[in-house]
Amino acid sequence: MGRIVLGAARGGERRSGTPPQDLTHRQLSVLTALLDRMDIAQALTVIDRLCSAPLPRQHARTDTGTAGPGWAVAELQTSEDFWEDCSRRQQVREQYECDREALAARLAERWGPPQTFSLYSVLERTMEGEALAEPWASLSHHVVDLTVWRHEESGRWTGLGVSQWDAELPFQLLAVVTDQDPP
């Protein structure tokens, strides 16, 4: 795995090879996500384990999240909650989106470009009473969209999403692996 070397150290001192000053806010956020907010190597290890392990046959809580027949969801990162102070909510949401983008960029190096799958129509269909396959139905209640890859050789889908069940609750960066096609 390649190592990213940047010019600015965490403490603020500068080294040679400092990134250009004309980075956009979004680019800088992605770099920050890679270096400070998320252990990307650990997240990749969890995703690799999900992709290579047999999918469960029954519902269970796992060491990284939840699982059910033909799917597993890992909670890669969880923010603070917003019960007392919601002033940072938007900033945290943006950071989690950047974290997802940074992780997706690393996975795209392996698997090629991803697709974006909106879960809005899945949510509408479940709200109308239609029974849809898991994990898609449950995810639609707290994840807006997923960045997904289809693995032809295994028939599985791998996805990344940012979850938040309600405005006061924490954000989570989720990894999803399933053999169920999106509805």
Identify whether 4 is part of a domain: no
Identify whether 5 is part of a domain: no
Identify whether 7 is part of a domain: no
- Write the pLDDT tens digit of every residue in 129-150: 999 999 999 999 999 999 999 9
Identify whether 1 is part of a domain: no
Quick check: 145 and 160 in contact, CB under 8 A?
A: no
Q: What is the pLDDT of residue 38?
A: 61
30 falls in which pLDDT band (50, 70, 90)?
Answer: low
- The model carries a pTM of 0.78
What would the mean pLDDT of 152-160 be, rounded to a whole number?
A: 94
Domain count, the chain: 1
**Core vs surface per residue 80-109: b (16+ CB within 10 A) or e:** eebeeeeeebeebeebbbbbbbbbbebbee
Tell me the CA end-to-end span of the chain in Å, nearest whole number: 34
Q: What is the pLDDT of residue 141?
A: 96
39 falls in which pLDDT band (50, 70, 90)?
Answer: confident
If one compares 38 and 69, the residue with the highest pLDDT of the two is 69
What would the mean pLDDT of 160-178 be, rounded to a whole number?
A: 94
Pair of tokens at residue 180: 């169920």
Residue 158's beta-bridge partner residues?
149, 177
Quick check: 101 and 28 in contact, CB under 8 A?
A: no
Q: What is the pLDDT of residue 133?
A: 94
Where in the sequence is the domain holding 147, given as residue range(s)?
25-178
The CA distance from 50 to 46, in Å, is 6
Q: What is the pLDDT of residue 139?
A: 97
Identify whether 20 is part of a domain: no
